[in-house]
Structure 1
Amino acid sequence: MTGTDRWVLRLRGPRTSPGVRLICIPYAGGSPEAFRAWSNDLAPHVELLAVQLPGRGARLREPLYEHWKPLLDDTFAALEPYLGEPHAFYGHSFGGRLAYELTHLAEARFPGRTRRLFVAGCRSPDVPQRTPLLHTRSDEDFRAALREMGGSPAEVLDNDLLMAMLLPTIRSEIRLAEMWQDWHPGGVSAPITAVYGRDDPIDSHPEMRHWPRYSRCRGEVAELAGGHFFMTSHGPELVHIINTRLEDGDG
């Protein structure tokens, strides 16, 4: 396994054995490098990987996905070499939806290897998408909404050149997130830990409280301080939750 490839960034290897791979997927338009800050706090047996989708980093100019099926097919094909060993998924917002869909595929191909699914800041599949849809807004209104969400620094949102490069990716993935719905007759076999931000105006407890229903094993809902992007504002507290659920590498 290479340390870095087009789809997967290996941010930290396990320091003890047996290990478990934590495969992280960022929010819409988010950089996989955001997870590097977790490296020092993760338990020694946890290997840290992050998915790099088109539209950011070295893949900035690659075509974006318009539909879920090709996104899932390509992402799963890229991750398949990493899924034969014990692993867990973490996904934030749009990344939580993608992580849930990938868990279905991983369990079909590698039964028993997905030890846990972490979904954060992400409505459960039975919760309807709020309207009006964010991805249909004008660029000006879209940028204003991003500012209210608090995930992008003001210096980024105020930079017209930079936003011209970033907005198509963010809008495309928010569109996918808003189009996502419950496509599966049953949940997943892995336990689910759903985490929400206490002050999240988008997906807080009412939108996330049903996630335990989507695990045929067991599920839980945990609260952290912070808004929609608590993975950066309250990273150590979130990593503590992840470590306790992945104790001894068995999820």
Structure 2
Amino acid sequence: MAAPDDKWVMTLKAAVAEPAGTLFCFPYAGGSPETFRAWRGGIADDVELLCVILPGRGRRLKEARYDRWQPLVDDVFEALSPYLNRRHAFYGHSFGGRLAYELSRLASAEYPGTTQRLFVSGCRSPDTPQRRPYMHEMTESDFRDAVARMGGTPAEVFEQERLLRLVLPTVRSEIRLAEIWDDLHTSALDVPITALYSPDDPIDGLCTMRGWQNFTKRHCELIEVPGGHFFVDSHPEYVTRIVNTRMGNANGCDRPLGSGSVRSPEDQQD
């Protein structure tokens, strides 16, 4: 469990049974722990649910945001190090998926055998080119319109100019990191990957996520869920049931990528 004064990690649900592991969650650009707070009722009792909080939101709103990947990855890894010597998995959505992947590489190398799985959702594979033009290069007006069309940001935020001015710089900063991200590593990840996508996602759907199979030496599966790009918000019951069946399963006995998408959580009972 995260200490109350840990600025990087928030405990959303403590394990009430012998833990199968800790699940570290990373939200989309500008996202907050509220996305994963809705998961508490669905996550198994033997899973500890933690959310990583980056600068630029919530209690860290006034802290400087990151503009480069390496310092971000290094600092988050250092902050999580006290938690990584026990069984754990990473879950990241969109921008958070990229960060979760980078941290999985470090954690599996530094703490062999403890990283059980990487969950990525709504996140292009590292070898998939980023769609152009870049959102982060848009004018302020166009960027606001684009963020509104994406969804994910509550409509009431766009009705409050002062709040919008606080929120949007973090969203733009992390969208920039997401857009410029690519894979510079020379070896595949030695951790199973579960990649979740929505057929209704206009940002990163099936076509941009297929490539995840090329980035692990272990098992990789691609799972279809409903709900558009922000299905982590709109369909938490689907996602948590998938996570529950995979936590603690490091042997890759799930359906492999290429054998067909899994259509619903009911199809995924191991």
Q: How many residue pairs align between the two structures?
A: 251
Q: 2: distance between equivalents of 1:199 and 1:2?
A: 39
Q: 2: distance between equivalents of 1:40 and 1:4?
A: 25
Asked if structure 2 preserves the Cα contact closer than 8 Å seen for 1:45 and 1:248, the reply is: no
Q: Label 1:156 to 1:140 Cα distance change in 2 as closer, same or farther (>3 A).
A: same
CA offsets 1:149-199 (integer angstroms, 9 cap, x no match): 111121112321111001110000000000100111122111000001121
Q: Label 1:4 to 1:71 Cα distance change in 2 as closer, same or farther (>3 A).
A: same
SS in 2 for 1:38: coil
The residue type equivalent to 1:98 in the other structure is L
Asked if structure 1 preserves the Cα contact closer than 8 Å seen for 2:117 and 2:192, the reply is: yes
> Equivalent residue for 1:177?
178
CA offsets 1:32-81 (integer angstroms, 9 cap, x no match): 23211111111111000000000000100000101011101110000000
> Equivalent residue for 2:23?
22
Q: 2: distance between equivalents of 1:190 and 1:248?
A: 11
Q: 1: distance between equivalents of 2:223 and 2:83?
A: 28
Q: How does 1:77-88 map to 2 (within 5 A)?
A: 77-88=78-89
Q: Label 1:75 to 1:184 Cα distance change in 2 as closer, same or farther (>3 A).
A: same
Structure 1 position 165 matched with structure 2 position 166 = yes
Q: CA deviation at 1:30?
A: 0.2
Gaps of 5+ in 1: none
SS in 1 for 2:112: coil
The residue type equivalent to 2:191 in the other structure is A
> Equivalent residue for 1:44?
45
The residue type equivalent to 2:53 in the other structure is Q
Asked if structure 2 preserves the Cα contact closer than 8 Å seen for 1:19 and 1:46, the reply is: yes
SS in 1 for 2:38: helix
Q: CA deviation at 1:142?
A: 0.7
Identity, % of aligned pairs? 54
Q: 2: distance between equivalents of 1:246 and 1:107?
A: 16
> Equivalent residue for 1:123?
124
Structure 1 position 2 matched with structure 2 position 25 = no
The residue type equivalent to 2:125 in the other structure is S
The residue type equivalent to 1:99 in the other structure is A
Asked if structure 1 preserves the Cα contact closer than 8 Å seen for 2:20 and 2:247, the reply is: no
> Equivalent residue for 1:239?
240
Asked if structure 1 preserves the Cα contact closer than 8 Å seen for 2:13 and 2:50, the reply is: yes
> Equivalent residue for 1:94?
95
Asked if structure 1 preserves the Cα contact closer than 8 Å seen for 2:19 and 2:47, the reply is: no
> Equivalent residue for 1:67?
68
> Equivalent residue for 1:114?
115
Q: 2: distance between equivalents of 1:13 and 1:249?
A: 22
SS in 1 for 2:245: helix
Q: Label 1:249 to 1:8 Cα distance change in 2 as closer, same or farther (>3 A).
A: farther
Q: 2: distance between equivalents of 1:131 and 1:198?
A: 21
Asked if structure 2 preserves the Cα contact closer than 8 Å seen for 1:189 and 1:217, the reply is: yes
Q: Which runs of 4+ in 1 moved over 3 A?
A: 247-251
Q: CA deviation at 1:3?
A: 4.2
Q: CA deviation at 1:249?
A: 9.1
Asked if structure 1 preserves the Cα contact closer than 8 Å seen for 2:192 and 2:250, the reply is: no
SS in 1 for 2:65: coil
CA offsets 1:4-24 (integer angstroms, 9 cap, x no match): 510000111112114300000
Q: Label 1:246 to 1:118 Cα distance change in 2 as closer, same or farther (>3 A).
A: same
Asked if structure 2 preserves the Cα contact closer than 8 Å seen for 1:18 and 1:249, the reply is: no
CA offsets 1:192-238 (integer angstroms, 9 cap, x no match): 00001121000000000111221111101001111110001011001
Using the size of structure 1 for normalisation, the TM-score is 0.96
> Equivalent residue for 2:187?
186
CA RMSD of aligned residues (A): 1.5
> Equivalent residue for 2:217?
216
Q: 1: distance between equivalents of 2:250 and 2:198?
A: 26
The residue type equivalent to 1:101 in the other structure is E
Q: 1: distance between equivalents of 2:248 and 2:71?
A: 34
> Equivalent residue for 1:227?
228
